[in-house]
Structure 1
Amino acid sequence: MTITALTEFKRQIDQEGGEDLLRSWRVNNSTSYCEWEGVSCDIGAPDHVIDISLPGLGLQGTIAPVLSSLTFLINLNLSYNAISGDIPQFPPSLKFLDLSYNHLSGSIHTSTLSNLANLQTLDISYNALTGLNLFHNLLSGAIPSQLANCSMLHFLNLAQNNLSGSIPATLGTLSDLQVLVLWSNTLTGSIPAELGNCSYLVYLELSLNALTGAIPHQLGAIPFVCPSDPLIDGLLNLRSNSLSGNVPSALGNCSGLRMLYLNFNRLEGSIPQELGKLRNLRQLYFTGNYLTGQVPPSLGELVILEELMLNYNMLEGTIPESFSNLTAITILDLATTGNLPETFANASAIITFHMADNDITGTIPSLFGRLPNLQRLDLQGNQLHGLIPAELGNACVLSELNLQRNRLEGALPLEIGQIPSNLSNLNVTAASFADNSGLCGPPLAHLCHDLAKSYSKGNSRLIIAIILCGISAFLTLICCVFAWRKKYGPLAEAKQKFHQDSSKTLSAIRITAKELNTATGGFNEANLIGTGGTSKVYKATLREGLLVAVKKFNWEGNLQKAECFFRKECETLGKMRHRNLVRILSTCCNLEMKAIVLEYMPNGSLEKFLFENEEYQLNWRMLVDISSDVAQALVYLHHEGDVPVIHCDLKPSNILLDKTFTANLSDFGIARLLSPADDSYSASYFRGSIGYIAPECGELAHYSVKGDIHSYGVVLLCMLTGRQPTSEEFYEQGVEMPNWVKRLWPDRYLDALHPNLRLEVEASARQAIEKEVLQVMALWCTAQAPKHRPTSKDVVRKLTLLKSPHRHFKHPTLQV
């Protein structure tokens, strides 16, 4: 194997150069490869190559990927040559790698270097590299200033490592740099002003570090516009550091910014009015600083602004009248004083209105009842007085209402206190109105007696008698309704329809938090059937014996993110109906709980069948059927809805199997709905699961339907191989699962199959070819470039032919 690797390396070097620069590298019986120029072997093990040093020989061509098979190689020095092409995988044994002063191009991905656990020195300076992505590793120490020698670098991602020290000022010499991502390290010192020289920078992510000092005004020289790809959002994220000083007014010149996050720092002074020039801004976060003065009216000119967070500062004054222009606003969290104006009467998109713990006076305006998308209204901790407007009952999707610690008075409006059907999502308790001594009526403990006191004693008795009779009649009616519903009601009907595989759902039934608590045994761990990053799924038995799955969202540590996932999953699944998508039966949304009630899948997830059982439990027919079911779901998501939907997290644990082993796609918490005019979007944070996510998603957080196709291809490979993409086996070899399978093609393709499937191949020539076809399709789906991957419709057409008993296939060829 060693001699093969070395001769292949020589062949690729000579192929482009045309000269036999490695003349001593000849295979003969008299000379060992350990005597070849630049090759050194281990004294104790003469057949183990430990060193290849060939600097300054004028070598051309490309580096052969087969070098990764030299598992004892410690030092590789190819510096000062003219080698071009991409940087391939290297063996995990490597400690010293010097590729400086060459013509290498392309990008270095996390997968290229992530297996080099022993690497001590890396020198890739003076090349033509355009990208370096070392996201989510265990890198430590300082960021080397020599990275500036990679003068053609377009993106640099070193996020989620253990890097320390300061950000090198030399990075400011990277004139072509478009993306700089350093979040979640322990970087200190100030932000170098030299970064202002990176005029092509579009994405600057320095959050979650320990940076200090002022924000350099030189950053205002960066327009944050990507001329080659307008879909990339302009981002400046400096949140969660220890930055101080004023907010530079020069940031108002960053015309392409769509997201500006300066929250949770130590910034002071006023908010610059120049920020009103950022007409492309969609998200503006200043939460948790020491900002003073008034909110500048110029912010009202940001007419496409969707999220504005100014809370937990020392701002004063009233809400500017110009905020009436913010008709696209969905999340508003302000720190202000004075009355609540009618400014937001036209803000029909608003979802969250948060003005807690300010010094707001006056009454609650009725405008909140005219906001059709309002879900959360938090006005606690102010000086509001007067009555609660009954118009709040018109806010039909309102789910959270917090008015405690004010000076409100009078009876709670029936439109709120009794929770009518048009406010079925709203769950108010006494805590929602606590510390308002003048309030009375249900659900508060003290009732309103003002009306009774205005009557004489005789009239009071008459009124009491009438009330008692009314209550008695009302209770009788309730008992009758309850008895009728128990026998003929929608839940019993839903149970019957559910078992008949009808399309009827329980979405019209309001299931309370108490019912869910009872149905899951107090969310007992014994009923736990799944766990995710923001939720847990429990098996539950509702009244009438109906089995369901309850997905309860948890927000320990991140309330806002979990709420977002809950809302996103409801919005996405609520608009879709397909036999291969898990159905929402009902929801429970209140201050204490966010939960979705789903169909129960008795056979659990595909992950359970692949990885959690001692034996591989899929046969070939099941595998093809599951593949087809998931592909059909993707066709619906990508092509058949009103707008394309990207799932963003397709993996075996999100593929659920019903009693007939029909696959149902689930978990749409991070799914994304595209507008009809778009075919992709860029996210401000990482979405998806390691091993399944497409390369373009991990590097630039650039998502499209082709990202789902890549994940689907990895799932196919999981079913074919019985292996997980994050297996230690691939880590040790320094290769990703698709490339590992591709290496075995075509002569050893059977080696990639699970032993059970291999036995089926030996028993059936047709199945042998079918498995080849499916393996090639999986590799087609996982092609490096999105444009080379098929569509979900292409996949379904191929699988339809594969399932046809009369269709005969030829041996496929691999072209990816």
Structure 2
Amino acid sequence: MACTKFLPLLFMWLLDQQLGSCSTDPQDVYALRSLSGEWKNGPSSWRHSDDPCGNWDGVNCSNSIRVTELKLFNMGIKGTLSNAIGDLTELQLIDFSNNKYLNGQLPPSIGNLKKLKTLILIGCKFSGTIPVELGNLSQLQTLSLNANHFTGRIPASLGRLADLVWLDLANNQLNGSIPISATEGSGLDQLAHAQHFHLNKNYLSGPIPLSLFSSSMNVKHILLDSNNLSGVIPESIGLLQKLEVLRLDRNNLIGPVPQSISNLTRLKVLNFANNELTGMIPNMTGMHALYNLDLSNNSFDPSEAPSWFSSGLQNLTTLTIEAGKLHGEVPEKLFSFPNLQEVKLSRNSFSGALNMGANISKQLKVVNFQNNLLTSVMVSSNYNDKLILVGNPVCSNMHIYQTEYCQVPGQGFTIKLSDSIVCSNPYEATSMFRAPYFSYLNDSIYYPQLRENISNKLGVAQRFSIDNYSFDSDEYLQVHMKFCPSGSGSGSKCFTSKEILMNLDLNSKIDSLPDVFGPFYFMMSEYQCQERGSKILIIGLVISFSAASLAVICIGSYAIRKKKQAERAISKSDPFASWGSNGEDIGAAPNQQSVRFFLYNELRKCTKNFSNSQVIGTGGYGKVYKGILPDGQIVAIKRLQKDSLQGGLEFKTEIESLSRVHHKNLIQLCGFCYEKEERILVYEYICNGTLSENLSGSKSTQLDWKRRIQIAWDSATGLAYLHEHANPPLIHRDIKSTNILLDDNWNAKVADFGLSKLVKEVETGNASSFVKGTWGYLDPEYFRTNQLTAKSDVFSFGVVMLELVTARSPLKGGEHIVGVVEKAVNRYDREFYGLKHVMDEVLVEEGNLIGFKQFVDLALVCTQMSAEERPAMSEVAMEISMIMKNLD
């Protein structure tokens, strides 16, 4: 027994002898070695030096002896967090954020770090319950565990964190009620100094406790949106005199809005949308600080426009009350609030004339009165921006019908900016603003302010640009940024690990941007960089070039002539010989297999010089033309525009994917053209258009129940082949009704492979982590965690299945199709399963829908929030085939 106790001391002595001149405390060295022993990779400096305090990237020490900070964000660490973390007892800061393969449970030993002030684990893959031992961290000020896979309840022990200012547990799978001290001894009501309660996007249930809020609290931001909270909004909410942001939207809250809400005179953002609130629309009079207000999709009593529509809210930028049961005339003064940018009052019953007089806010960009009862409109010449009146009687007037007011609005979510910088190896990040004071990123106000503050307040030394921004379905603002290594220009210089950790420390500054952007955090894309140059390579190139020049001089004009002949031959045999000369070309040239190369002039002739009369579709990529080849074959020709949202990567992916997959339910690629800066794809022609087109208008009458089941089975079969039998298997990543085409026999074919990823790349972590897809169809777990799997396609396909039932778009009026169907399901309704009022009328009239219940249940299983609960695509195809057999 004595020998056993002596072994650790002996080991520490041997370690100390081995380190020699190492100044770091041996206990800390041992702990760090134990941590890295659980990882497959990490900073290379940890392997090349024996002294952590002197040479290890991401390790900061006090007096060069004890480790006080571990900053290892976005280092590509794979593995788990060892219990040895608890031995670094002098730690004050831990930031392991955006290591998307750092998984497993958070070890309880982390509760030993009594001096820890900051713990940031954003965007990792930690799972299991949050350890109760975190309540022992008496000096903790920042706790950011958002965008992980934590489950179970919020530990009541967190209430003991008396110094906590920032609490962020969002984007996890936490469930149960919010803990309070009255019932559990400790609770979140004890966090008197906390300014940020971010518990959004979980599965929290039960009522919001009355005692959760008190006048002694300093809270500024409360994010409880996208949970399963029920009951009433507690009257105690009015005690929070410093509150600036309150999001309770997307829950199951009931009852009237408490009158105490009027006490929140500092409130800037208020969102109660998508609940079951009743009574009168709350009185906002006196809430002069309010910028962004959303009360949509509740069960308020019918009323005329409240008086505060005309005065009092001088700071208001965004007013959203969709489906609010408002009626009567629209007050003209509504549009004169000086900072107003967007008015969204669709799906109400406003009637009479819409008068937008001369005193219109200069900031106003969007006015949406879709689906009201307006009979006339008067718009001042001072307003030249978007006005949406489709679905109003006024649009039956032939004079106004042709105007853009009466056209169905597009769903463009992403705004690209023009000041994007160019460099070969950028470091990319997406900032997630969860409650901005605005819903329109004004280029002349907020955009320059954002650039300036990221430059100055975050202390970023590198050149950077904001490439694009978008508001997602949760009304979060996503801003995609790109940072370039200093002095890189368009060359190949890379960021080193040390430069990233020192100069791009974004999440530790999460409270440093102006309040107008609201609470936010950064998600960084995995950084991979390969420098193309080295001294040896340059020397080799110089020698090779000199030898080649000498050979040319010696051989003379004969060699020059042969060289030109060879170049012409290469150009004919290798259509991608010039790949890379265009700035939008990405990576190596496409590896096509037996795909025909078309000359530009061939395609120009067969489309009548790309005549508009031949256009059969348009999209973010450009236009699709119908063409007839010289052999009589009809084809669809997709020509990418110069300003396309897609580019070289999508063009390359489409060629490589479709040249390798062959299935009757996948679109066939006939060829491509890469010439004269043109990127053109040639497909088989599918005459009956997209599923989306056929589910709308008169065409939907041709899609009876049996045909819709056949379409679902065709699509599922094609995707199952793609996931499991293609060589190599692929994940489509953009399944939607516009990417399912119907031929002359109504057989379905899956199309558009521009975003697809190889399953092998995804499983090995070599695929880009930047989330792509289409809102409404996008897998929420993929969006939340950046973890793409084949189950992401299953979620998207489940949404398509619900479209086949309802003939409605995935996002309509602020509601997602999954939520609409889930809320409507009535398992006692044998005929329509409770969905009669949300179904496509064509199916309601048909009746006797064999297998309807099984089909809807299968769709809802496919759209489960957790990928683990969704079936594989082959299982989906099999289930649909069973329904088809019962139809015969």
Q: Which category of TM-score, normalised to the shorter sequence, fits these structures?
A: 0.3 to 0.5
TM norm structure 2: 0.44
**TM-score of the two chains, using structure 1 as the length reference:** 0.47
Find the structure with the greater CA-based Rg. 1
